[in-house]
Structure formats: C-alpha cells, structure tokens
C-alpha cells in the first residue's frame, strides 16, 4: 500500500510540474518581446512631430500621420477627422479633461453610446483610445451640451466635444480607428 501512495504522489507531482511548465510556456509566448520598458494600456507607439501652419490654425498639421485617422492636438485643443485620402472631413475645438494622453499613435479600443462621465455629467458617443495612470482617455459629448473646463483636483480623461461634433466622431471613429495625438 505504501508503494502505491508514493507512486500516486509522484504521479501528481509530475502532472503538477507539467501543468506549471505548460502555463509558463503559454505566458512567455504571449508576453511582449521587450519587457524592459513596460507600457501603459493604450501607450503610444510613436511620437509624431507635427508642424503647424501659423496663418491657418485650423489646417491639418503636417506630419500628423497618414490614412484615415483622428488627429488630436494637445496644444490647440483641436481634433481633425481625416479620410483615407488625407482630406479633412471635419475639424473642431474640444475641451480636454485634466489628464492628457502622451503624444503618439493609438487606436480606438472601446465605445459607449451613453454613460455618466467621471464628473457626473451624462455623456454620449464615448470613443476611448488610451489609459494614463489608470485614467481612461476618450472623446465624448455632454448631453446638456456643456463644455466645462477641467477641475484640476479631479483626474478626468474625458475630452469633451459639442453634440454635433460628437455625432461626427461617433460615425467616424469605430473600433480600431487610428488616433494620432500630437503636441
């Protein structure tokens, strides 16, 4: 009987080690190639250098990416919805939250038709593309049309746009759509 229980324990040990080895292999196979510099969720891939036309501040900045994309300027608080052919479909001013994304290339990761913003305001057409220090960054339109200045004491990532601009963003920025954040 003692031989049978030690054989049983040895079998369990081998099975456990095989399982741990298999799980370790799966984890290493799905790990990023470069673990030396961990990235935040939605961390940018590149940091574009966009050149502005000082005489035409609403003009799409040069070097702001290629193809269909949303371009968001941190300095100008402006968004451009750019078609695949490079033509600007729409541009508009926005009011940022208190937390900005880093400059770089992102993709739309999720969308919500209607939610309550972190400031308690009902918002619609939420288009999310980044996370910075556990704060989700995305575009949204307040149902009441308000564009409040951000409260620096509250960490918010909502970039507010008018209801009409929110409708345009919602129709343009589907899951996976490129979002380029420039200085």
Alpha-carbon distance values, 154 to 48, 72, 134, 158, 172 (Å): 29, 22, 13, 11, 29
**Residue, of 80 and 14, whose pLDDT is higher:** 80
In a domain, 156, yes or no: yes
Tell me which residue has tokens 């509250």.
154
The pLDDT assigned to 54 comes to 62
pLDDT digits (tens, 9 = 90+) for 17-52: 444 444 444 444 333 433 333 334 444 544 445 555
Strand ranges for 62-121 from DSSP E: 69-73, 78-82, 88-93, 104-107, 110-116
Q: Which domain holds residue 147?
A: 69-182
pLDDT digits (tens, 9 = 90+) for 128-177: 999 999 999 999 999 998 888 888 888 999 999 999 999 999 999 999 99
Alpha-carbon distance values, 4 to 1, 7, 14, 52, 81 (Å): 5, 5, 15, 79, 71
Same domain, 84 and 18: no
Output the six-digit token pair for 2: 């003692």
Same domain, 14 and 85: no
In a domain, 148, yes or no: yes
Split at pLDDT 50, 70, 90, the class of 9 is low
How many domains in the chain? 2
In a domain, 46, yes or no: no
In a domain, 99, yes or no: yes
Same domain, 5 and 74: no
pLDDT digits (tens, 9 = 90+) for 91-139: 999 999 999 999 999 999 999 999 998 778 899 999 999 999 999 999 9
CATH code: domain of residue 162: 2.40.440.10
pLDDT digits (tens, 9 = 90+) for 45-83: 444 455 555 666 688 998 899 999 999 999 999 999 999
Which DSSP symbol is given to 143? Answer: T
């Amino acid at each position: 009987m003692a031989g049978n229980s030690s054989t049983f324990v040895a079998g369990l040990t081998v099975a456990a080690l095989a399982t741990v080895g298999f799980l370790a292999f799966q984890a290493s196979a799905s790990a990023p190639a470069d673990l030396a510099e961990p990235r935040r969720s939605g961390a940018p891939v590149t940091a574009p250098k966009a050149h502005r036309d000082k005489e035409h501040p609403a003009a799409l900045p040069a070097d702001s990416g290629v193809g269909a994309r949303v371009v968001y300027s941190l300095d100008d608080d402006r968004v451009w919805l750019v078609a695949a052919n490079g033509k600007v479909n729409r541009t508009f001013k926005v009011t940022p939250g208190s937390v900005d994304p880093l400059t770089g290339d992102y993709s739309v990761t999720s969308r919500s038709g209607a939610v309550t913003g972190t400031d308690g305001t009902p918002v619609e057409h939420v288009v999310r593309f980044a996370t910075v220090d556990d704060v989700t960054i995305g575009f949204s339109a307040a149902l009441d049309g308000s564009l409040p200045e951000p409260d620096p004491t509250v960490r918010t990532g909502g970039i507010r746009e008018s209801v009409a601009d929110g409708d345009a963003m919602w129709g343009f920025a589907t899951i996976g759509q490129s979002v380029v954040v420039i200085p």
